[in-house]
Amino acid sequence: MKFSVIKIDSWIIHEHHLEIIYSADKFQFSSKIFYHDVSFSGLMKKYSQPIIQRVVAHIILFEGMKLCSLFPQYYDISVIAEYLEIEVLDLFVQIYQGVFGQHWYENNITNYQQPEIICSQKLGVSQPTSILGDHQTILAGCGGGKDSILAMKILEEAGISFASMQYSHSVYGKADFQHNLISQVLEFVNPIAKHQISIYDDFTDFPFLKLYFPENSGITAPETPVSIFESLILILDKGYRYLCLAHEKSANTGNLFWDEIGKEVNHQWGKGLVAEQILDQFIQQHLFSNFKYFSILQPIYDFRIFQKLSKYPELIPKIHSCNVKKPWCKKCSKCAYVWLGLMAFSQQNLVNEVFENNLFDDIDLLPIFREMLGLGEHTPFECIGEIEESRLLMRRCLERGITGKALDMFTEEILSDTRIDWQNIEHKYNFIYATEHAVPDWIYDQINNNL
């Protein structure tokens, strides 16, 4: 079965949530995005109905990108066309081609660039406006993992005011369960406000793809880019002008170079500096001129992040990063990587209490550790560090007296190579890159000593 057209069928702005209906030929799917402390009627009075409709239209456009996992020929955006500018179509292609490289690779698709975007009415024109007020408080995203809580710790210790933004997604389980997990992490910082977004999506949550397209590797969604647009509702409602996420420098490195298409495949592309700059520039030029999006951890690698996290042992039992079964499934590449980084720096007894087993001894994880160390075809398709970074973390685990089958493998196949310049590798991953980021100067000057 092949799909010809994916389409935005309809959309409604309710008082506290957005409801969007998409279709893929004869099948229909819905996405609902709830803002727990936003009144859309109040927001439209504060700005105007057309301004809010324009923001919502951009959310709808990029939320629909997940249906491109079906490799459709066309994407019909007619019902939102009047609220979009022609430049957003170029942005859509850039985001799609950056995010979907892994999906192409996993499905061995070498002759598909993107769906052709079609509409039966004329596109609108760019009408950038300003976020009202002069709010210096930063809206900081929090997913409950090590990066977001460390980012907020850095802001807090630098004396910079921030509010938290957390969101749940039905693909990860019950909304209340996810929000409760994140709330436990937020107990260790003091944001001036806590905001919640809950997303319910039956395309990603239902077994549609498994039943109708069992040969397809799965659903890919531009989770980070679309969350940027979704955050704009909170930005406008509360008067924030700065959006801070916590993407580290490792996100800029791909998993492999795919010769078939002459392109790097990067699972984390949407989190990287290039995507960050593209999205920030687009929003400033076409939506809100006084908006700024940046990652506060872009100047440093995971090696330094794990090191800094060890200063806060109280966080170890609360953070969670697994995308399979929250808080930890203990069987995926993300769990294995976080275990590796925590064991390299944090109190071992605390890490052991959380994971309960020595993941270095798990036979099922040995192939994953091999891929992390550069001994496979490519690194795992997850949000993890670079090959030499994983090697450095594993070497540190050995120095701390930790044992396990994965460490035995590392000792035999990596550590035995006397040509490796460990001092130079550590310098790279423990360095603060003062210019390779987009953090506003006034913020960087205040946080520099805390990085």
Report DSSP state, residue 288. B
Burial class (CB in 10 A: 0-12, 13-18, 19+), 267: buried
CA 237 to chain centre: 23
Q: Of 295, 287, 272, 271, whose CA–CA distance to 235 is shortest?
A: 287
Helix (H) or strand (E) holding 257: strand 256-258
pTM of the predicted structure, to 2 decimals: 0.96
Q: What is the DSSP string of 325-358?
A: SSS--SSSHHHHHHHHHHHHHS-HHHHHHHH-S-
Helix (H) or strand (E) holding 194: strand 194-201
The ranges assigned to domains in the chain are: 5-295, 321-429
Give me the pLDDT at residue 1, please: 55
Give the separation between CA 367 and CA 361, rounded to whole angstroms.
12
Distances (CA, A) of 445 to 74, 153, 190, 290, 442: 47, 16, 21, 20, 5
Give 253-262 contacts, CB < 8 A, sequence gap 24+.
253/386, 254/101, 255/102, 255/378, 255/379, 255/380, 255/381, 256/105, 256/377, 256/378, 256/379, 258/101, 258/104, 258/105, 260/110, 261/104, 261/110
Q: Going residue by residue through the chain, which has 451 residues, state the pLDDT in tens, using 9 for 90 and above.
A: 578 999 999 999 999 999 999 999 999 999 999 999 999 999 999 999 999 999 999 999 999 999 999 999 999 999 999 999 999 999 999 999 999 999 999 999 999 999 999 999 999 999 899 999 777 899 999 999 999 999 999 999 999 999 999 999 988 888 999 999 999 999 999 999 999 999 999 999 889 989 999 999 999 999 999 999 999 999 999 999 999 999 999 999 999 999 999 999 999 999 999 999 999 999 999 999 999 999 999 999 999 999 999 999 999 999 999 999 999 999 999 999 999 999 999 999 999 999 999 999 999 999 999 999 999 999 999 999 999 999 999 999 999 999 999 999 999 999 999 999 999 999 999 999 999 999 999 999 999 999 9
- Give φ, ψ of 295 to 5 degrees: -110, 125
Output the CA torsion sign for 116, 119, 123, 128: negative
Q: What is the DSSP string of 210-245?
A: HHH-TTS------HHHHHHHHHHHHHHHHTEEEEEE
Give the separation between CA 400 and CA 105, rounded to whole angstroms.
38
Give the separation between CA 51 and CA 431, rounded to whole angstroms.
43
Give the separation between CA 65 and CA 416, rounded to whole angstroms.
46
3-state secondary structure of 437: coil
Give the separation between CA 261 and CA 4, rounded to whole angstroms.
24
